[in-house]
Amino acid sequence: MRLEKSGPNVVLLSLTLVALAAWLGLDTVSVAANRIVPGTGYRVDEVIGAGGALATALPWLALAGFAWRPARRHLLLALVLVVLMLSALPAWLALSAVTLVDAPQARLGIGAGIWGVLFLLLLALIELRTRLVLSRLLGWALLLPPLASAALCLARWLEPLALWQEYRGRSGQFLGAVGEHLLLVGVAVGASLVLGVGLALAMRRWPGVQKAGFGMLNFLQTIPSIALFGLLLAPLAWLSANVDWLSALGVSGIGWAPALLALVGYSLLPMVRNTFVALEAVNPGVIDAARGMGMSRGQVFRQVRLPLALPVILEGIRITTVQAIGLTAVAALIGAGGLGTFIFQGLGQAAMDLVLLGALPILLLALLVDALLGALTDILRPGGAE
């Protein structure tokens, strides 16, 4: 509290200083003659000269100044500055592309400096949003100017950007992969939700099931994902060879079937655990009152226990979904498709930008789902906390 009143905002100040160091000290972009050869890195001063580099330090110093005296007015100015700087990052890439890239096959890579600054600026944005107590929606709206700037730069100047080149080579494939990824995650989470809630209910009724169930799910969780895909290969191959309708359905040792089974297996533990704990943790006094008032068992469950448990159950769905989005990337190894395909192709071809083309959307999807389900949980908590 003391810091907030008079002293500097330490979080924002340190973020700013570290980001400034990353900006000036690390390579912001790299240029490679073609797709395979490693690129040459360029620091800020190597792109626009030492004087220009010093000039780019000015907004950072202003930001540090606002952090030093964090009155509300200063924090608002800092917020505007952070949004502007985020919007300037694509412009910096555009400037580098125009000045550094001359040959048509040459490619522009995004350097560690830009990634670092992007990450630190987003953290600063979160810090400012919290300090200024802005709504969730407004927080998201603040990302619109940087996104618009990125879209504009991509359309006009960023032809040589390696990531963009990789995407352009696979634009059809890319949308398909996103679709496959989401389908796998959706079906796996949906199936584990149905199974998980069923299992949690069975565990509440029969304590024996509870012990055995949690034991098995915990064990399942300890198997490394690649090993689990391997273990499923033989039995599924046998099944598809011997059961006609399964092979007609497209089940085989590799592909979507083992991927889905493994994903459901991994998703069950967080789903069951959250559902079970949520249902058990409802205040016994409330349940006692509900029964004492003459509610039937079904009414107690539907009108009291389930609604009170819902925020925690949703929390389980959120964790499970984020986890499944990450795990599905590995499923590409056994031919299940999805964004993981690009990651493994890129690793195989030593093309890091192709890896990024797979990894970045996975990251964005996870963040998006996290935010959406988090907002839903807030909405479903009526009248605030208990």
Q: Which residues bind other proteins (CB under 8 A)?
A: 283, 285-286, 288-296, 299, 304, 307-308, 382-386
Nearer to other proteins, 112 or 286 (CB): 286
Q: What are the CA-CA distances from residue 72 to residues 66, 78, 131, 134 (Å)?
A: 10, 10, 9, 12
Task: Decide if 91 contacts 49 (C-beta within 8 A).
Answer: no
User: Which residues fall within 8 angstroms of residue 17, CB to CB, at 6 or more apart?
Assistant: 64
Nearer to other proteins, 244 or 386 (CB): 386
Shortest spacing between CB 42 and other proteins, in angstroms: 58
* Helix and strand element counts for the chain (H, E): 18, 3
What is the smallest separation between the CB atom of 317 and other proteins, expressed in angstroms?
A: 19
Q: Token digits for 111? A: 């350097």
Quote the least distance from Cβ 307 to other proteins, whole Å. Answer: 5
- Of 172 and 384, nearer to other proteins (C-beta) is 384
Between 308 and 334, name the residue whose CB sits nearer to other proteins.
308
Closest approach of other proteins to the CB of residue 380, in Å: 9
**Cβ 370 to other proteins shortest distance, Å:** 24
Q: Which is nearer to other proteins, 293 or 363 (CB)?
A: 293
The phi and psi torsions of 205 (rounded to 5 degrees) equal: -80, -45
Angle at which helices 352-379 and 306-331 cross, to 10° = 170
First to last CA, the chain: 26
CA distance 278 to 272: 10
* Pick 185 or 290: Cβ nearer other proteins: 290
Whole-number Cα distances in Å, 13 to 1, 22, 124, 131, 277 = 17, 14, 9, 14, 41
Shortest distance in whole angstroms from residue 295 CB to other proteins = 7
